[in-house]
């Protein structure tokens, strides 16, 4: 039977980087080469200053320190590493298409296809290809046909060239990626080549209990990843819809979440109301699901999943309008502090962050945003909100990034908490109150603050999902 010694991972992003770091740590007998076409990203992965790694994940620095240049290597040598590899993971991005058929919904598979073509050209011997990227159902089939076509024109020196394609979706969540990789709920492997499945299973068995390794056919595996994300997003839209109802009726969404979450059939996770879900996966995967349903003529099913996205936009816009309303119906020329720009805590990732839409809503009303986030840098904010030019049209509003909480609240009329960073839970509100213009407001869209501490500091307080009468 074939032996796996060398692994190549194409794509050194949020998925490829941490996943390979953990495999390298748990399997010191394997050599792992993570390759990427983005030179700057690879340079950052190789930086001696570990605080410059391209992504922030608790626990990642320690593993990189231990394994980098031992059995974990980052480079741009895509072709060489494909040639050397016994197993190749594909972890490139699959964004929503912006042009052509399916634009706005379908996944753009151009990078997946280009990976398949590169593998077809450079691989040697029996090579196992593992889809890590979240992909539309039946993508493995496309990869396999590109690879099989290449076999037909095969030169004699490569006569033993052979490909197996497996689906092995990654379920890690950002901010807890390392822990999720070390202690996953399950590992899903889809495919029909029993030998290839066994070889991949053997890698995971180095640290994961065999009964957590689930084997399915390849289409179930691809679809399960889309559906897991769709179900998680659906729970958030459900609880966010309930948050609005709680605010109207006098119920408290925290109490409702707790009460329903204790029902073991419902479970207590993913029931926190908030400003709407963000992140690179939920929206993209639901759009993709909608596209697949429509492709197969399942219009009602497509409509059902679309409503999950509709509620998500609605919640962001509802919260924006409500804040403007509380600030006497106008925020033109006012200062609003934004606490948190990342789509969740413990990550520097801003992709699809609810902060983007909410900040844009405020900027369109001509206010000045004072943004504080412990991990998101100014360049990242600029790529979402546009440059913060000095002399902008006062009707359009402007933003500034600050490096301390205190600096970001000077003369502010309101603070809007958008990310649940730990440090926002321990703020000395009486000190903050002195720095703000009155009447001052705190809008807590994550329900992380203690009401009494804020109101006793002479600041008005609003919380998502809790009626004014109560808060």
3-state helix, strand, coil in the chain (%, to 5): 45, 15, 40
**Cβ atoms 317, 361 nearer than 8 A:** yes
Report H helices in 93-138: 110-122
Active-site option among 8, 9, 27, 281? 281
Instruction: Identify residues 142-201 at the interface with ligand UDX (CB under 6 A).
Output: 170-174
Min CB(170)–ligand UDX separation in Å = 6
339 interacts with ligand UDX by CB under 6 A: no
162 or 238, CB closer to ligand UDX? Answer: 238
Can you tell me which of 33, 127, 134, 408 binds ligand UDX, judged by CB under 6 A? 134
What are the beta bridge partners of residue 7?
32, 87
**Does 97 participate in binding ligand UDX (rule CB under 6 A)?**
no
Is residue 270 within the footprint of ligand UDX (CB under 6 A)?
yes
How would you list the strands of the sheet with 162-167, edge to edge?
72-75, 31-35, 6-10, 87-90, 126-131, 162-167, 187-190, 213-216
The only residue of 33, 71, 81, 93 in contact with ligand UDX, by rule CB under 6 A: 93
88 DSSP β-pair partners: 8, 129
User: What does the block give as tokens for 26?
Assistant: 């748990």
Tell which one of 271, 309, 369, 440 touches ligand UDX (CB under 6 A). 271
* ω into 439 cis (within 30 of 0): yes
The nearer residue to ligand UDX, 14 or 73, going by C-beta atoms, is 14
Answer for which of 34, 92, 165, 338 binds ligand UDX (CB under 6 A) is 92
The yes or no reply on residue 350 touching ligand UDX (CB under 6 A) is no
Asked if 373 touches ligand UDX (CB under 6 A), the answer is: no
DSSP class of residue 316?
Answer: H
Site for ligand UDX in 22-61 (CB under 6 A): 36-38, 41
Task: Tell me which of 33, 127, 133, 463 binds ligand UDX, using CB under 6 A.
Answer: 133
Distance separating alpha carbons of residues 103 and 112, to the nearest angstrom: 17
What residues form DSSP beta bridges with 129?
A: 88, 165
CB of 264 to ligand UDX, least distance (A): 18
Q: Nearer to ligand UDX by C-beta: 226 or 436?
A: 226
Residue number of the CB closest to ligand UDX reads 13
In the complex with ligand UDX, the residue whose CB is nearer, 45 or 429, is 45
Least distance (Å) between residue 114 CB and ligand UDX: 5
C-alpha 201/C-alpha 210 separation (Å) is 8
Residue 5 and residue 42 in contact, taking contact as beta carbons nearer than 8 Å: no
Q: Which is nearer to ligand UDX, 117 or 198 (CB)?
A: 117
Nearer to ligand UDX, 316 or 388 (CB): 316
Residue 227 binding ligand UDX, by CB under 6 A: no
Q: Cα(349)–Cα(286) distance, rounded to whole angstroms?
A: 20
Q: 281 an active-site residue? A: yes
Q: Which of 7, 8, 9, 10 binds ligand UDX (CB under 6 A)?
A: 10
Coil vs helix vs strand at 43: helix
Size of the site for ligand UDX (CB under 6 A): 41
209: left (phi over 0), alpha (psi -120 to 50) or beta: beta
Taking a C-beta distance cutoff of 8 angstroms, is the pair 87, 127 a contact? yes
Task: Please report which helix (H) or strand (E) contains residue 239, including its range.
Answer: helix 218-249
Q: Does 315 bind ligand UDX (CB under 6 A)?
A: no
Active site members:
281
Binding site for ligand UDX (CB under 6 A): 10-16, 36-38, 41, 91-94, 111, 114-115, 132-134, 170-174, 229, 232, 236, 270-272, 274, 277-282, 343-344
């Amino acid at each position: 039977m074939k032996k796996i010694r060398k692994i190549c991972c194409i794509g050194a992003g949020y998925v490829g980087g941490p996943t390979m770091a953990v495999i390298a740590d748990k399997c010191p007998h394997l050599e792992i080469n993570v390759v990427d076409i983005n030179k700057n990203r690879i340079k950052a992965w190789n930086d001696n200053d570990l605080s410059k790694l391209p992504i922030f994940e608790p626990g990642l620095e320690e593993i990189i320190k231990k394994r980098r240049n031992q059995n974990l290597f980052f480079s741009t040598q895509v072709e060489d590493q494909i040639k050397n590899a016994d197993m190749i993971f594909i972890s490139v991005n699959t964004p929503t298409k912006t042009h052509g058929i399916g634009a706005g919904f379908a996944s753009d598979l151009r990078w997946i296809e280009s990976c398949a073509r590169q593998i077809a050209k450079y691989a040697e011997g029996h090579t196992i290809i593992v889809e890590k990227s979240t992909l539309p159902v039946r993508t493995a089939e496309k990869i396999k046909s590109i690879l099989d076509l290449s076999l037909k024109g095969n030169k004699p020196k490569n006569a033993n060239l052979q490909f197996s394609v497996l689906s092995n979706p990654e379920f890690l969540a950002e901010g807890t990626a390392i822990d999720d990789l070390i202690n996953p709920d399950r590992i899903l492997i889809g495919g029909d080549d029993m030998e290839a499945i066994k070889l991949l299973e053997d890698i995971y068995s180095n640290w994961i209990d065999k009964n957590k390794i689930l084997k399915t056919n390849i289409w179930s595996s691809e679809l399960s990843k889309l559906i897991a994300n769709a179900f998680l997003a659906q729970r958030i839209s459900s609880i966010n819809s309930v948050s609005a109802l709680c605010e109207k009726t006098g119920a408290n969404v925290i109490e409702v979440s707790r009460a329903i979450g204790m029902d073991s059939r419902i479970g207590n996770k993913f029931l926190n109301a908030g400003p709407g879900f963000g992140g690179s996966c939920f929206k993209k995967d639901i759009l993709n699901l909608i596209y697949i349903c429509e492709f197969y003529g399942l219009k009602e099913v497509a409509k059902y999943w679309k409503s999950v996205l509709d509620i998500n936009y609605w919640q962001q816009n509802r919260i924006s309008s409500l804040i403007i309303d509380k600030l006497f119906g106008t925020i033109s020329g006012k200062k609003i502090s934004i606490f948190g720009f990342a789509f969740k805590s413990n990550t520097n990732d801003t992709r699809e962050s609810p902060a983007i839409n909410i900040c844009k809503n405020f900027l369109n009303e001509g206010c000045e945003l004072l943004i504080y986030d412990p991990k998101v840098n100014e360049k990242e904010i600029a790529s979402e909100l546009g440059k913060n030019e000095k002399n902008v049209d006062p009707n359009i509003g402007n933003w500034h990034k600050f490096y301390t909480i205190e600096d970001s609240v000077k003369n502010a009329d309101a603070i809007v908490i958008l990310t649940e960073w730990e440090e926002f839970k321990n703020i000395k509100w009486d000190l903050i109150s002195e720095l703000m213009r009155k009447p001052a407001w705190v809008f807590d869209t994550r329900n992380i603050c203690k009401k009494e501490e804020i109101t006793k500091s002479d600041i008005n307080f609003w919380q998502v999902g809790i009626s004014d009468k109560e808060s």
